[in-house]
Amino acid sequence: MKKQWWKESIVYQIYPRSFMDTNGDGIGDLKGIQTKLDYLKELGVDVIWLSPVYKSPNDDNGYDISDYYNIMDEFGTIEDWEELLFEVHKREIKLIMDLVVNHTSDEHPWFIQSRQSKDNPYRDYYIWRKGENGVEPNNWESFFSGSAWEYDENTKEYYLHIFSKKQPDLNWENPKVRDEIYKMMKWWLDKGIDGFRMDVINFISKDSDLPNAPSLHGKQYASGSRYFANGPKVHQFLQEMHNRVLSLYAIMTVGETPDVTPDEAALYVGENLNELNMVFQFEHMDIDSGAGGKWDVKPFHLKTFKQVMTKWQKGLEDRGWNSLYLNNHDQPRMVSRFGNDKKYRVESAKMLATCLHMMKGTPFIYQGEEIGMTNVAFNTIDEYKDLETLNWYREREKEGVEDASTLMQLIYKKSRDNARTPMQWNDHKHAGFSNVTPWLKINPNYKEINVKEALEDKDSVFYYYKKLIQLRKEHPIIVYGAYDLLLENHEQIYAFTRTYDEEKLLIILNFSEKSPTFELPKTMVYQSAELLIGNYKVNTTQRIDSFNLQPYESRVYRMH
């Protein structure tokens, strides 16, 4: 497979609202990001991905855009953004922007026009349908609860919104919509950005019949994703986008694609298929959910995790490139979800980082992950801000099946606000994020878990990440080596190898607080084993045929 800079890179995701506030409104801003670039340089990241910074009424924190050519008031101005880009590039870091084009805000001028009359020239920029006898055009459920259709009194029709009703879906069948999007993409690329992360990009082509979805347990609404995820024209649209925009620039692209299998992903990222470089798949994010979706919480099983990760590592082998992530702004914090955020917080954060950074693909770090930030548990629902969480809570409260404390327990596990509490910079009031009360409460553990503390402790999670990142620069095998699973059925240990020409790495990870014995498969012959990185102090000259692992221990050996 071809060598590419984005395969060798490490990406750091910034959720600007929660990163750093400099103008004293309790909301992060672009100037705040600028003040922290040296910190990111110290960590060693190559690329920054900015979650949306465009003008937005913030129904969904910027994923509802009302002007693609301007910056959200709370975050600053286009001049601030230009300066940020300059400062990022000065440090030899790249910048990729979030591209949210499955939908706009309902306050976008296109939608304001579109809803005015059935013959408005912008009517067909969105998906409008008549309902029948006061019933929506179909039974699709919005990702944020309730129907995916909103009735508009003015023209007596419904518009489709698979996210919130303030996020109407664009009609990609309309060539004018596509022209507008490509024009806007070029406008940003001509400013010198280095690529895009594309929001739910595999949802842009809907089955034009808009069929009803099979409903679960006689529920009124059901997920329609089988009719819009990887829809009929998605590859046609992306190839057009590639041809008209992406191919003209030396950039990286990563598409967010829920509901893809490795075979489907290969169609988006296939090396010669001219669409995207990588996709974010969701299978490993779904392994602790049941048939009822994300709030139907199931226990985590390492064996399933290994199966899913291996399926992706092997599934795209020699075909395309994986993105690697264990959390982001939509997911719980990885150390709380897959590790242990109490007694073994530091150990398990390092172990999970080792797992991710030693796989084949481009690792994505989500802000705060590098200091082991954890989930949060606010006392009351009023302290939550995420509309997905709030809508779901209200709906379940209305149904009245579970009591409030059961609902709160689920929120503690799965709410997106777990990842959105402000970045913990130091142990001062408001964690050094702001000098006023922030838009979302700080996690009370900021006194112990913060950047200042991490930078002062040479054994911190931060320095472990820094070392992992350096190792990637020193050993091409970490980027390009083939992945193979060992000990498939082990309940606590995740072990795998990476192989590149004559070289071999062995990665051993204990996903438990027990002390399981690692037994090296007899087929692996070696002279000596050199420890490249580990999260406990170990005797580096020992043989590694059989030994006990400490809780959440991780070791990476180079086999000679």
Residue numbers of the site for ligand NOJ (CB under 6 A)?
A: 60, 63, 100, 163, 199-200, 256, 329-330
CB of 514 to ligand NOJ, least distance (A): 35
Give the active site residue among 199, 369, 386, 388: 199
**Given the complex with ligand NOJ, which of 95 and 387 has the nearer CB atom?**
387
CB of 524 to ligand NOJ, least distance (A): 40
Q: How far apart are CA 105 and CA 86, in angstroms?
A: 29
CB of 422 to ligand NOJ, least distance (A): 17
Contact between 341 and 526 under an 8 Å Cβ cutoff? The reply is no
Helix and strand element counts for the chain (H, E):
16, 22
Contact between 320 and 265 under an 8 Å Cβ cutoff? The reply is yes
Report the half-sphere exposure of 480 (CA within 13 A, side-chain side).
Answer: 14
CB of 96 to ligand NOJ, least distance (A): 14
Report the DSSP pairing between strands 503-510 and 493-500. antiparallel
**Given the complex with ligand NOJ, which of 201 and 269 has the nearer CB atom?**
201
CB of 148 to ligand NOJ, least distance (A): 12
- What is the sign of the dihedral through the CA atoms of 169, 173, 177 and 183? positive
Q: How large is the angle between the packed helices 262-269 and 302-315, nearest 10 degrees?
A: 40
**Given the complex with ligand NOJ, which of 103 and 350 has the nearer CB atom?**
103
Q: Which residue type does 149 have?
A: W
Q: Which residue is nearest to ligand NOJ (CB)?
A: 63
Give the active site residue among 46, 59, 141, 256: 256
Contact between 48 and 14 under an 8 Å Cβ cutoff? The reply is yes
Contact between 288 and 300 under an 8 Å Cβ cutoff? The reply is yes
Looking at the DSSP bridge assignments, the partners of residue 126 are: 170
**Given the complex with ligand NOJ, which of 329 and 430 has the nearer CB atom?**
329
Per the annotation, the verdict on 502 as an active-site residue is no
Per the annotation, the verdict on 256 as an active-site residue is yes
Contact between 282 and 289 under an 8 Å Cβ cutoff? The reply is no
How far, in Å, are 69, 123, 179, 520 from residue 183 at the CA level? 11, 20, 6, 56
**Given the complex with ligand NOJ, which of 97 and 100 has the nearer CB atom?**
100
CB of 365 to ligand NOJ, least distance (A): 16
Residue 531 CA, distance from chain mean position: 31
Q: CA angle 505-511-516, nearest 5°?
A: 85
Catalytic residues: 199, 256
